[in-house]
Amino acid sequence: MRYLRNTWYVAALDIEVGREMLSRMILGEAVMLYRKLDGTAVAVIDRCPHRFAPLSMGKLIGNNVQCGYHGLQFDCSGKCVVNPHGDGKIPRAAQVKSFPLVERYGMLWIWMGDADLADAELIPAYYSHFDSPDWKTVRGHSFQEANYQLIADNLLDLSHDQFLHANYHRKDAFLTTPHEVFVDGTAVVSRRQVLNSIASDAFAGNLPDPKLLVDQWKIMRWEAPGYFLLDLGVRPSNDPQAPGLCKRNAHILTPATETSTNYYFINARNYQRDDEKVDAQIREWQRIGFGEQDKPMIEAIQRGMGKQDLFDLNPILLSVDGAAVRARRHLEKLLKAQDEHEMQATLAQSAITHA
Amino acid sequence: MRYLRNTWYVAALDIEVGREMLSRMILGEAVMLYRKLDGTAVAVIDRCPHRFAPLSMGKLIGNNVQCGYHGLQFDCSGKCVVNPHGDGKIPRAAQVKSFPLVERYGMLWIWMGDADLADAELIPAYYSHFDSPDWKTVRGHSFQEANYQLIADNLLDLSHDQFLHANYHRKDAFLTTPHEVFVDGTAVVSRRQVLNSIASDAFAGNLPDPKLLVDQWKIMRWEAPGYFLLDLGVRPSNDPQAPGLCKRNAHILTPATETSTNYYFINARNYQRDDEKVDAQIREWQRIGFGEQDKPMIEAIQRGMGKQDLFDLNPILLSVDGAAVRARRHLEKLLKAQDEHEMQATLAQSAITHA
Amino acid sequence: MRYLRNTWYVAALDIEVGREMLSRMILGEAVMLYRKLDGTAVAVIDRCPHRFAPLSMGKLIGNNVQCGYHGLQFDCSGKCVVNPHGDGKIPRAAQVKSFPLVERYGMLWIWMGDADLADAELIPAYYSHFDSPDWKTVRGHSFQEANYQLIADNLLDLSHDQFLHANYHRKDAFLTTPHEVFVDGTAVVSRRQVLNSIASDAFAGNLPDPKLLVDQWKIMRWEAPGYFLLDLGVRPSNDPQAPGLCKRNAHILTPATETSTNYYFINARNYQRDDEKVDAQIREWQRIGFGEQDKPMIEAIQRGMGKQDLFDLNPILLSVDGAAVRARRHLEKLLKAQDEHEMQATLAQSAITHA
């Protein structure tokens, strides 16, 4: 399968990685993550170059990984630094691929493409509020047996809320509100707004007066390969300067294989930040809404589709599909550009060889 | 895999379908069955044409199905009748394939081929006694991980009774009785008769005097694609006009996939019709005989064969194989005729296009 | 997959086969083993030639196997001897393939190739001490989801002891001892010796004085297709004539399929032969060392490699790989000779046909 390679993917939440090695499939490759003694997280291929044992079955010795099979040690750049056998000489090819890894905004970002291009400034800064004390986050990770684009379709068409998550959206100001879909630079945005109405279920319980008239918004922003920012909130209609109750949530999709995805979600709110009951409500929504409503539906679709492409199956298109279709087309354009670039690189390489 | 298409298949027993949607694989297609408010059963493809969600994960709203993902509603003909999004316009292609479905003799019969040819008169009338109060039925359904022809082989050679079902056939008048195999119109028939002997285990317990001399018969009748009628009974040898103890059982095979089958069985008897102990005995036989004796054997054969064709494996032929071999050959002839018909239809279509 | 065919494989330990039929996959074929009334073990293909039922689902009647489906009986040469149907005539093709099977040294040896070449003298006599009262054996069998060559690699490079089995080898005289690897006729041998040192963990507990200075050796001998003899022991350095504490263990690999193996191990010792505590220690090592340390590692490697060949993955080579690499090359040479031989046989056959 083709994946966008020269881009940052989330490899794990920061809290998932420590002094126990974590093996995670990313773009079809087994990657192993751990933290050095100074806390820096690193990522290498989870396969010893000697007999192909998963390195994650070995153990950490200081900053190095010792293979659990024959004891070769690799430093965090993937270079073999100890060969306990014979004269101890280290074969030149004894090297595990390592990956640029950056810890930022509570996540570990990995670069699976050309390491020379790995520029940390490309990590989307619109997740920076997760570091701010003005926002309280509740985070999670789910492994889903579905292609990441099927999950993206789900996120880009929140009109499914009122059906798949009907129990959470009995009273929802957005049910009949049209989506405005537009392209903003490299992002696809789907926006809904409702003015002067009572608040949706999602916020009503957190307002001092649930009957207060509010302006409400729900804006999903997508960028390739699978970054989502969901900005939603309510603000008293009679006080346009009020900060209101806001959420700025991340949904981030990292392809594991062609038919599976590591899905990371971070819920961030600017209100009742110390209220653990609100935390618990959000956790419950992540568990039920994502885990017991979205996940079985999307996985059933994946099983039914097998490895066929969505568009090859001639789906009918509805007004609510605008964002998902635009995102799929944009991603396809990026993949074609990557193909083109790789072909030219191959040709250039071949010219050099023949020169 | 090639399936006979222009014929009726049993999609479910009547009692299996109600106001809960039932998803069942039929000839490799996911089909969804439910009953309308007036009790009429209907069948449509179990896949929304929008994002391919299984419709059976949605819910019924009156006579319509609401997709559980984005809420499109389809009537029982498969036509989309509600689009809850945007201006509510319904795309022309928003149509799910529906299938002719007829409820008859306690079963729901589906036509997977050309709907114009679906003539309810083709449903085999020799199952009509299931509707008669003169017969008491005990019915069941079993999903088996084997090609339907392997199950047909089993049913067409009941000489396996004395080995695979030895515990039920310790005393069986038919053990050494030759099978007469003949073709009767479109049916293959395998018949065994024994005159003037004591009754087999299957009936001995139900006779007033188990030592009574009886005439006994066991006649299996097969018709394509997978209809079986097993007619068996005993009658006092000295009273040829007596109705005797008779069973006229259906075994009906509907291919799920190339290597799995939905198997429906209906046991019908003309004696002790109100005796629940006899019902329980029959249920026990269906559970043990079919479920714990036939099924593991046939599934083991399937696993060993993989996707190879039986005849490609050069099976040795015994005298008892006459019916099974004739049935396989007849089915093959029908499949070839279907291939031929489809090729001609394609050619005709192509001639029209070029004209 | 190519397997060496004209050679003996272990089909089972003697104790595994009795009057219950045992089905075991060998070189990709389902083979069924049982003992005749006189105790002789026999092996036939586990598939009836009639409807391909596994014969192991039937039952033994004296020395014959009765198929559980339709009751054909086969003698232990695989010839059909009873057809209970019709006139009882036995079709000429009613024959199951049988295999030469020899019981020797506590194992049942099967010949999967040309039966005319099956010479019991080819069974490796270096396992004959298992029959001797001077040696006490503790034996086991493990089914592993890995190609047999990956298990061979493990056995031919015991430098993994100090990592994968670190808990058993805390004090091991061999840790820094170089392997001498050499070819001895058709065998590849990996030898390590240490003179005048205190005994390794494996023996220290069994010596009268664990501080005694001893000479120690650990010699692994491999022959195709998967015979291993591990000779290891200690002897007082000041008494070169003493028998010492010795083990002469067999590890024998029989390919089940391309990615699975039946692995037989026999531990034989010349000391404390009646001490059941030593038996229990050895059993524990077989359970933990082989089952919970080697097996998960080798199976993880197999899963990661899929069906790729080890050398196609460009493994780096270490000094400790000498024996494994030599064994793989030798096996490859034997397989090529077999290919060549088969091609010539085919050509000769074709010449005869055309003559």
Residue contact C159–A70, C-beta within 8 A:
yes
Share of residues in chain A with pLDDT > 90 (%): 84
- Looking at residue B54, its amino acid is P
pLDDT digits (tens, 9 = 90+) for C331-352: 999 999 999 998 888 888 877 7
Q: Is B97 exposed, middle or buried (0-12, 13-18, 19+ CB in 10 A)?
A: middle
Residues A115, A97 contacting (CB under 8 angstroms): no
Nearest chain B CA: its distance from A307 CA (Å): 13
Domains of chain C (ranges, CATH numbers): 8-121 (2.102.10.10), 133-334 (3.90.380.10)
Would you state the pLDDT for residue C208?
83
pLDDT of B26 > 70? The answer is: yes
What pLDDT is attached to residue C201? 80
- Write out pLDDT tens, residues A220-255: 999 999 999 999 999 999 998 998 999 999 999 999
- Chain B residues with at least one Cβ partner in A under 8 Å: 30, 47, 49-54, 57-58, 66-72, 83-87, 91, 93-94
The chain-wide mean pLDDT, for chain B, equals 94
Mean pLDDT of A199-211: 84
Which residues of chain B neighbour C52 with C-beta distances below 8 Å? 301, 304-305, 310, 313, 315
pLDDT single digits (tens) C167-212: 887 767 777 778 899 999 999 999 999 999 988 887 888 888 888 8
Tell me if C70 and B318 make a contact (CB, 8 A cut-off).
yes
Count the neighbouring beta carbons within 10 Å of the beta carbon of residue C352.
8
Which of B59 and B162 is assigned the larger pLDDT?
A: B59
**C-beta atoms surrounding A52 within 10 Å:** 20
User: Residue A353: its pLDDT value, please?
Assistant: 67
Quick: pLDDT tens for B303-326: 999 999 999 999 999 988 999 999
SS3 of B62, please? coil
Per the listing, tokens 């504490």 go with C245
Per-residue confidence (pLDDT) for residue B349, from 0 to 100: 80
Torsions phi, psi of B172, nearest 5? -135, 120
Beta strands in chain A (DSSP E): 8-13, 22-26, 29-35, 41-45, 59-61, 64-66, 73-74, 80-82, 98-99, 101-104, 107-111, 136-144, 180-184, 187-198, 213-223, 227-236, 245-257, 260-269
* Residue, of B208 and B218, whose pLDDT is higher: B218
Q: C315, A47: Cβ pair inside 8 Å?
A: no
pLDDT value at residue A115? 96
Six token digits for residue A268? 């961030």
Q: Mean per-residue pLDDT for C11-20? A: 98
Determine the 3-state secondary structure of A204 from DSSP.
Answer: helix
At residue B278, the 3 state secondary structure works out as: helix
Comparing CB atoms, the residue among A163, A313, A314 nearest residue B69 is: A163
Strands (DSSP E) found in chain C: 8-13, 22-26, 29-35, 41-45, 59-61, 64-66, 73-74, 80-82, 98-99, 101-104, 107-111, 136-144, 180-184, 187-198, 213-223, 227-236, 245-257, 260-269
Task: Determine the pLDDT at residue C354.
Answer: 67
Q: Do A85 and C319 touch (CB under 8 A)?
A: yes
pLDDT band, very low/low/confident/very high, at A345 (cuts 50, 70, 90):
confident
Q: Which residues contact B1 (CB under 8 A, 6 or more apart)?
A: B28, B255, B257, B258
Question: Which DSSP helix (H) or strand (E) runs through A208?
Answer: none
The predicted structure's pLDDT at residue A52: 97
Mean confidence (pLDDT) of chain C: 94
Give the closest-approach CA distance of A61 to chain C in angstroms.
13
- Indicate if the pLDDT at residue B353 is higher than 80: no
A165-196 residue pLDDT tens:
998 877 677 777 788 999 999 999 999 999 99
Spatial CA neighbour of B217 closest among B261, B185, B187, B247 = B247
Q: What is the structure's pLDDT at A355?
A: 59
Is there a contact between C56 and C23 (Cβ–Cβ < 8 Å)? yes
Which pLDDT band, with edges at 50, 70 and 90, does C355 fall under?
A: low
Of the candidates C322, C29, C329, the residue with the CA atom closest to the CA atom of residue C149: C329
Please state the rounded mean pLDDT for residues B9-28.
Answer: 98
Q: Which of the residues A297, A299, A310, A321 would you substitute to probe the B interface, choosing the one with the greatest number of B C-beta atoms within 10 Å?
A: A297
Q: Stretch A253-272: mean pLDDT, rounded?
A: 97
Taking Cα atoms as reference points, which of B204, B190, B276, B208 lies closest to residue B234? B204
Burial of C333: CB neighbours in 10 Å, binned 0-12, 13-18, 19+: exposed
B vs C: CB pairs below 8 A? 65
What per-residue confidence (pLDDT) applies to C348? 85
Q: Is the pLDDT of residue C78 over 80?
A: yes
Cβ pair C304:A54 closer than 8 A: yes
In this prediction the ipTM stands at: 0.92
Percent residues over pLDDT 90 in chain C: 84
Contacts of B153 in chain C (CB under 8 A): 51
DSSP A290: I
Q: What are the beta bridge partners of residue C170? A: none
Q: Mention every residue, 6+ apart, whose C-beta is less than 8 A from residue C190.
A: C156, C157, C158, C179, C180, C181, C219, C220, C222, C322, C323
pLDDT digits (tens, 9 = 90+) for A1-56: 899 999 999 999 999 999 999 999 999 999 999 999 999 999 999 999 999 999 99
CA angle, corner A319, sides to A314 and A321, nearest 5?
55
CA B234 – CA B203 distance, rounded (Å) = 7
Residue among B96, B65, B58, B99 at smallest CA distance from B82: B65
Find, in chain A, the residue whose alpha carbon is nearest to that of B53.
A301
pLDDT in tens, C123-138: 999 999 999 999 999 9
Instruction: Please name the residue of chain A whose CA is at the shortest distance from the CA of residue C314.
Output: A49
Average confidence (pLDDT) over B133-146: 98
Given a cut of 70, is residue C32 above it in pLDDT?
yes
Q: Which of B149, B164, B174 should be substituted to probe chain C, the one whose Cβ sees the most C Cβ atoms within 10 Å?
A: B164
Of B57, B58, B83, the CB nearest to A318: B83
pLDDT at residue C103 above 80? yes
User: Chain B partners of A178 at a C-beta cutoff of 8 Å?
Assistant: 86
CB pairs A-C closer than 8 Å: 65
pLDDT of residue C211: 87
What pLDDT band is residue B201 in, cutting at 50, 70 and 90?
A: confident
pLDDT digits (tens, 9 = 90+) for A107-148: 999 999 999 999 999 999 999 999 999 999 999 999 999 999
User: Do C313 and A52 lie within an 8 Å CB cutoff?
Assistant: yes
Amino acid of residue C58: G
Q: What are the residue ranges of helices labelled H in C124-189? A: 148-156, 161-164
pLDDT at C55: 98
Tokens of A319: 């007004």
Cβ neighbours of residue B264 closer than 8 Å, sequence gap 6 or more: B10, B13, B107, B139, B140, B141, B250, B251, B252, B253, B254
Using a CB–CB cut-off of 8 Å, the residues of B that contact C are: 153, 157, 159-160, 162-164, 178, 296-297, 300-301, 304-305, 310, 313-321
A85 and C297 within 8 Å at the Cβ level: the answer is no
Rounded Cα gap, residues C115 and B300, in angstroms: 28
- Comparing CB atoms, the residue among C30, C52, C58 nearest residue B313 is C52
Q: What is the pLDDT of residue C113?
A: 96
- How far from C17 is each of C14, C21, C59, C108, CA to CA, in Å? 6, 7, 14, 9
B40-69 mean pLDDT: 98
Residues of A in contact with C178 (CB under 8 A): 86
Q: What is the mean pLDDT of residues C140-159?
A: 96
Among residues B190, B232, B197, B192, the alpha carbon closest in space to that of B215 is found at B197
HEC string for B154-172: HHHCHHHHHHHCHHHCCCC
pLDDT of C178 reads 80
Least-confidence region, from A67-81, B169-183, B292-306, C277-291: B169-183
Confidence check: pLDDT of C295 > 90: yes
- Could you say which DSSP state residue C291 is in? I
